Structure 1
Amino acid sequence: MAHKVGRNIGLALLFCDFCRTFLTDKSIVKVAHNIAFESAISCQQNIVIQPPVYDTICAAQMTLKSNYAFRKLADSGLKKLAEELCHERLPTFSDVTNGRHFDELGAQDMETIRYGCADSDFALAAVSYFQQLV
């Protein structure tokens, strides 16, 4: 969305059709890494995310902790968890952008797509990991 290079999906189409249907469907489990962020963006579009939801940042804080303290938010980032749990390095924002703003990247560029998908793929893998712990 909102890339200056390449084709973009329209915001109205994304939010009104896909996101509203997906995020309000109570039969679909929504997986996110920091559902508060997605909730804030959705709320701006008058969409209230309906349960069930699974937040991998909350799961990390509650399960990957010591006996005395919850894991800190700074230690629960997706890139850190990917290396810790799966021994996989996810691309950083600067790896992909090389000093550019995200909207200056081509929407169909393979590195842009890889960056956008890597976090989603790992969030789904993290769900499986955390579910094994309970």
Structure 2
Amino acid sequence: MVFKRKIDPVRETLAAIYKINQGISKIEYLLDKLNSRRDKLIEYAISLENRGERFLAKKYVEEAKRIEEFYNGLSDLKLVLLKISMGLERALVTHNFRKLAEELIILFGNIKKLPEFAIPEVGNIIMDVESSIAKLRDF
């Protein structure tokens, strides 16, 4: 006879919060890399402009704009993860895990449609957190 281990919602919530915090730190690392890359591109574009190579300078500025848009998307995702973390912390206090988990599963379905989800690190973060929250839905 096989016994199924009972899921402890508090433990699963704490695990989800931990995974979210890990994900936020990884996203902050990516944001720092993007910011430094954007600054280098702009600096290089300025030096090209000073040498009279306007076409190349324009291309570097366009690439810096793309990086800026990507940066904004990742920072929005970071804010969403912070809000999810706060919601899970509130669920620890109110013990209303199922309703929050159902709402978050729908939210993660929408997050998967974002272009930032294509980044392997971000995709792994979202999938880890979603699996932890799916366990809460069963409680």
Give the alignment's TM-score, normalised by structure 1: 0.29
Query: Rg bigger for which structure?
Result: 2
Kindly indicate which of the two structures has a greater share of residues assigned to strand: 1
Kindly indicate which of the two structures has a greater share of residues assigned to helix: 2
Q: Which of structures 1 and 2 has the larger relative contact order (alpha carbons within 8 angstroms, sep 6+)?
A: 2
